[in-house]
Amino acid sequence: MSDGSPRYDCHRDLGPYAGVADLLRRIAADRPRLAARHRVELAAIAPQHAPGRRTAADEAPIRFHPARRTAALAYGATEFVAAWADTLRRPVTLRFGHVGAADETTRELLDTLAGRLDTDRVRLDLRDDGPARAPAEPGPEAVRTVLGESLAAGFYHHAARTARHGRTLVTPHDDLRHWWAFTTGLATALAALDRATEALDLYHETRTVTDDPKITMSAAYATAMLYARHLPADAQDPARARHWLAQALRLARTLPDPRQRVLSTVFYEQGVALLDSREGEPERALRLIDDGLSRLTAVLAPGERPQDVARLRHNRAQVHLALGDPQRALAELDTVIGHDPDNCEYYVDRAALHRAAGRHRAAIRDHGSAIRLGPHLPEAYYNRAVLYQERGRTGRARDDLGRVLAIDPGHLDARIALVNLHLEQGAPDAAEAGARAGLALAPDEPALLCTLGLIRSERGDPAGAEELFSRALAGDPELVEAWTNRATVRFDRGEVAAAVTDLDRAVALSTAPVPRYNRGTALARLGRFDEAARDFADALTRPGVDRSLRRELRAELARCRRRTG
């Protein structure tokens, strides 16, 4: 590819990732070994063959991707293009047209490319020129197929547009089957895009236009899940969720086909089990799940619908964990992964259990699987970074945290961890830049304010540091580091009594030895040697006392005891 390469058409009428998918296919054909390392994201963005068709409203995929997955796909695709660019012998210009009319997936990927690529090596030529697309008008069946594919892939903006268009083609009176498919598809896309209130309105509309038992059953269950999971926290309502679950179950039990009656009833009961577990009744939830699995396996042939079975067993693993039985939860997750080995969520859950049991290598392996299958799942990168840091592998931890932020710049936990890592490694400039970048997104984030305060203190600005620590404590009065660090600033300035007051709060909130050591030092400065000795002795009994601190504590304790004779 060179300056004479084609202009890639990004018009949204061509679908998700229009234009950029063509570029990725060309690169993949040219660099197959490189493409093999990015096969999961390439399969999602630029499949070589048409994805499987979904033509019925009740054939929705078992697993819906989160909307944020497209950011991870964009990251992986950009890494692929950047690796290809590094092999080029001369600069190249990549031309894209109809950028202003592109689908959200395409714009997101183009933005990621623009932020990552070396402009001396690859230039992006982004334009809106060219005639507007006017494709042939597809019929309802074709639109429904596109809708199903977009939902299954997690391309929710495109799915919502497609569903809205489908609703203009039919009415519930002349074509109820297609109208319902477009309506529930639109509701699903809106819920995934954090617009669950609009989805709720669509299900209420459905009940005003039809009393078809299967449709009202599905609408009732979907309404229940909106109240249980997807509505804003202040609008979620477990009682209403139970009401709509009861409606769905009542209709499911009247289905004429015995097999479908069992399948629908079992899965709707999982919603009840979810509510039971949340409301402190895990034993009742477990009974529902166990009974459901028994009935489900009775109507399924061996090996049939493995993802459905995995879903119930995953629910059972979570309930075992709620009941305080991590060993059973782990055994269940092993079975779940055997049924559905391509679901990244299951590996993340199992990694958490491995980590809790101290099996860090197994946890790192499972996070690696989740990253591969996700692909580039930010939470898996973050969790693996924490494990790497605990094992002293700070370089790998830093790399993983950088990947999290490249995918999700608003991931505050990763931002905080990376800032603190820079600080621990003696890179205050990088730490300050990271803290300020985080505060630009979350101006009142206490942990970042605290870190920035520590940097200001080390750079000889105690007044600025104290102001930042105070702001941090206003946002989080239980932030031990802010109490401890503000106390240090006040102690160094000679405000010893104020430092003790801050350290009283830190000691009340933390079992760590350092706040007690610091308070003992301040108390000794005030001549309160008995109290200081108690702090030094107490700190010596606390976990996490390293050799250097233990030596200091013993020396200070001896000094205090000599003073009190």
Task: Name the pTM for this structure.
Answer: 0.88
pLDDT at 131 (0 to 100): 64
First-to-last alpha carbon distance for the chain, in angstroms, is: 85
Other CB atoms within a 10 A radius of the CB of residue 171 amount to 12
**Single-letter residue type at 256:** P
Give the residues of the chain that fall short of pLDDT 70: 1-5, 49-62, 130-134, 565
**Half-sphere exposure of 55 toward its Cβ, with a 13 Å CA cutoff?**
5
Q: What share of the chain is helix, strand, coil (3-state, %, to 5)?
A: 70, 5, 25
pLDDT at residue 563, as a whole number:
87
- What gap in Å lies between CA 137 and CA 303, rounded to an integer? 41
3-class DSSP state for residue 374?
coil
Structure tokens at 467: 């102001």
In whole angstroms, how large is the CA radius of gyration of the chain?
29
247: closest CA among 215, 274, 276, 273?
215
Position 51 scores a pLDDT of: 38
How is residue 55 written in tokens? 């033509």
Instruction: Give DSSP secondary structure letters for 136-199.
Output: ----HHHHHHHHHHHHHHT-HHHHHHHHHHHHHH--TTT-HHHHHHHHHHHHHHHHHTT-HHHH
Identity of residue 153: A
Label the pairing between strands 122-126 and 92-97.
parallel
Per-residue pLDDT, 71: 97
Q: pLDDT tens for residues 298-356?
A: 999 998 999 999 999 999 999 999 999 999 999 999 999 999 999 999 999 999 999 99
Nearest to 2 by CA among 88, 110, 111, 116: 88
CA distance linking residue 131 with residue 11, whole number of Å? 10
Place of tokens 């609009």: 198
Query: How many C-beta atoms lie closer than 10 Å to residue 208's C-beta?
Result: 8
Residue type, 409: P
CA dist., res. 319 & res. 297, Å (int): 20
User: How many C-beta atoms lie closer than 10 Å to residue 433's C-beta?
Assistant: 13
Q: Which amino acid is at 254?
A: T
Helix boundaries (H) for 279-324: 282-299, 306-322
pLDDT score recorded for residue 543:
87
Q: What is the pLDDT of residue 54?
A: 38
Residues 264/216, Cβ–Cβ less than 8 Å: no
Dist CA 261 CA 248 (whole Å): 11
Residue 507 carries which side chain, given as an amino acid letter?
Answer: V
8 A C-beta contact, residue 542 and residue 512: yes
Domain positions in the chain are 7-126, 511-565
Q: How far apart are CA 414 and CA 315, in angstroms?
A: 28
H/E run at residue 78: helix 69-85
pLDDT tens column, 157-200:
999 999 999 999 999 999 999 999 999 999 999 999 999 999 99
What does DSSP assign to residue 212? -
pLDDT at 6: 77
Q: Over the stretch 511-565, which tens digit does the pLDDT of each residue have?
A: 999 999 999 999 999 999 999 999 999 999 998 899 999 999 999 999 999 988 6
Instruction: Output the CA torsion sign for 207, 209, 212, 218.
Output: negative
Is the link from the previous residue into 282 a cis peptide, with omega within 30 of 0? no
Handedness of CA 423, 427, 429, 433 (dihedral sign): negative
Angstrom distances, CA of residue 152 to CA of 42, 109, 187, 441 = 16, 19, 14, 31
CA distance 503 to 514: 10
Q: What is the mean pLDDT of the chain?
A: 93
Contact 425, 448 (CB under 8 A): no
